[in-house]
Amino acid sequence: MSAEITGLRSAIAFAEGSASAAVAAAAQVELAIAGLQAGGTSGPAIAALQSAMEGHNATAGYYREAAATLSKQLQIAEAYEANAGAGTREFVTSE
């Protein structure tokens, strides 16, 4: 996943990739918590890691929301691609 956004499709790919990365990070934190608890760790360290896991899951949701919103704009890109000689957005929508 690259953070270099050069257009709509790369923006969607970034948001989707970021959502996947956040989900993977949450899963890793969950494994870390399980390992710590198996070793007898409890208290503030576990609570902090649980908050981090929840944060990763929330972040994944925000990235999915961004990807979904951006994906709705694909129909605009597809319309432009299907009508290459239609003129600028300003011209097409001016009346």
How high does pLDDT run on average in the chain?
93
Distance CA 81, CA 11 (A): 18
Full-model pTM: 0.82
Query: Which two three-digit tokens encode residue 92?
Result: 């097409």
Distance CA 25, CA 79 (A): 37
Residue-level pLDDT at 89 = 78
Residue-level pLDDT at 82 = 87
How is residue 85 annotated by DSSP? T
Query: Which two three-digit tokens encode residue 29?
Result: 């934190």
Q: How many residues does the chain have?
A: 95
**Residue numbers in the chain where pLDDT is lower than 70:** none
How is residue 39 annotated by DSSP? T
Positions of E strands within the chain: none
